[in-house]
Amino acid sequence: MSKNDIPNIDPVSNILNTEQAKNLTNPPCKSFGTALGDLCDLCFGGLHEKAEKSRLIRKKNLEEFKKTLADSVDNIPEKNQIEPKESIILPALDTSKYYLDEREIRNMFEKLIVNSMDNRMATKVHPSFAEIIKQMSPLDAQNLKLFQTKIQYPILQLKIVDDKNRSKLITSYLFISNPNCDDIDLQNVSISSLSRLGLIETIYSGHLSNDDYYKPFFETQYYKCLKEEFDKINHCKGENNKLAFNKGYAQITPLGESFIDVCLSPLPNESNP
């Protein structure tokens, strides 16, 4: 065979001329490309739609926030309107933008801002309030509202005491006065936080005079399960540990009273709950 008899084969041209290569542009292969595009739209388009939805919700919440402020300030009699202190209103406005989606927290900022412009409330407004609101949860706000009607609530401290009189704390703030939340762990954190913020104080050096206030603690499922488990452990290990408790109470502080008046009580254009 001579050199001229050898076919001139261009590898690239040969591949492009194959039937398989031609099919890349045919409908069967195009459908795979379309499907891939659809998957991308599903994944990345979904993220875009979610972000857009969040943006629209935030915009709506911002408009509601601004309208509430405007309406509430307009409702303050002109003779009572004052220019707010920058130390109050600027931190409140700056921080509130992070809580537009959390209605209970946003409402506290609204009330703080409006009341800082009302001379009837100005003496109760404290510069720490914006920072306090920032550190509160909706449950904290619910619990603090309870003190609008009563200044004291019973709390219980539970601990294990062994035969050498050594004690191990189980919970410091057993609180069951909020009918909307029976999660003992969440309540323990909330009461602890409100105490840390200086809005309430928890006292174990004394207790409420009426023992009936403490009876409901021992009827909770939490206490019954704890007692049952504790008795089982004692029986299995042959120990003589005791489940002990201290009676105490939580009460509102002067700072907490002012905070309730400024940040939790109805604004002039709101009706009492």
- The pLDDT value recorded for residue 22 is 47
| Domains of the chain with CATH codes | 63-134 (no CATH), 142-257 (3.30.110)
Q: Coil, strand, or helix at residue 43?
A: helix
Q: Which of 146, 59, 138 is nearest to 105 (CA)?
A: 138
- The pLDDT value recorded for residue 270 is 66
DSSP class of 261: I
Q: Coil, strand, or helix at residue 163?
A: coil
- The pLDDT value recorded for residue 131 is 95
Contacts with 72 (C-beta within 8 Å, 6 or more apart), sequence order: 110, 114, 267, 268, 269
* Residue range 131-184, pLDDT digits in tens: 999 999 999 999 999 999 999 999 999 988 877 788 888 888 999 999 999 899
- Classify 6 in phi/psi space as left (phi over 0), alpha (psi -120 to 50) or beta: beta
Tokens read off for 2 = 């001579």
Output the CA torsion sign for 210, 212, 215, 217.
Answer: negative
Reading the chain (273 residues) residue by residue, the pLDDT tens digits are 444 443 444 444 443 444 444 444 455 545 655 666 665 555 656 656 666 677 777 788 888 888 888 888 889 999 999 988 888 989 998 898 888 888 899 999 999 999 999 999 989 999 999 999 999 999 999 999 999 999 999 999 998 887 778 888 888 899 999 999 989 999 999 999 999 999 999 999 999 999 999 999 999 999 988 888 888 877 777 777 788 899 999 999 999 999 999 999 987 656 544
DSSP secondary structure, 73-101, as one string: HHTS-GGGB-PPPHHHHHHHHHHHTT-TT
- The pLDDT value recorded for residue 64 is 85
Question: In angstroms, rounded to a whole number, what is the distance separating the alpha carbons of residues 57 and 65?
Answer: 12
- The pLDDT value recorded for residue 254 is 96
197-226 b/e (C-beta count within 10 Å ≥ 16 → b): bebbebeeeebbeeeebbeebeeeebbeeb
Strands (E), the chain: 152-161, 167-174, 200-203, 242-252
Question: In angstroms, rounded to a whole number, what is the distance separating the alpha carbons of residues 146 and 252?
Answer: 10
Question: In angstroms, rounded to a whole number, what is the distance separating the alpha carbons of residues 154 and 206?
Answer: 11
